[in-house]
Amino acid sequence: MEMRIVVPDDASAGALVQQLTVVFGPERVSLADERRAVNVRVVRESDRTVLRVLDTVEQWLDQAGVASAEMWLGDHSYRLARWAPIASTP
């Protein structure tokens, strides 16, 4: 199974590839043809691997200052957004 993370621009994709490669190795991470998407091969459909990808992408969103990215897992798409605190009124 592959996870695909679609990002806003080529530079973002390159930075995300580097970060995911550190965690998963170059044999499991690649840029898609359009260069705005990063593919991660998930071995044996492991839930733990999916969670590690999500954690890495969330860290990358914060570090890169990117607001959100679209993630595809199989036929399902998800929007991953950067965490932002919500101001509360007393």
Rounded CA gap, 76 and 55, in Å? 18
Helix (H) or strand (E) holding 44: none
Q: Which range, of 7-11, 48-52, 72-76, averages the lowest pLDDT?
A: 7-11
Query: What confidence tens digit (pLDDT) does each residue in 9-24 have?
Result: 888 888 999 999 999 9
Contact between 16 and 5 (Cβ < 8 Å): yes
Can you list the domains of the chain with their CATH numbers?
A: 2-81 (3.30.70)
| pLDDT band, very low/low/confident/very high, at 85 (cuts 50, 70, 90) | low
Residue 77 has pLDDT above 90, yes or no: yes
DSSP class of residue 68 equals E
pLDDT at 5 over 80: yes
- Residue written as tokens 């999500």? 54
2 pLDDT more than 90 = no
Q: Tokens 């607001």 map to which residue?
A: 67
With contact defined as beta carbons under 8 Å apart, do 21 and 87 qualify? Answer: no
In this prediction the pTM is 0.81
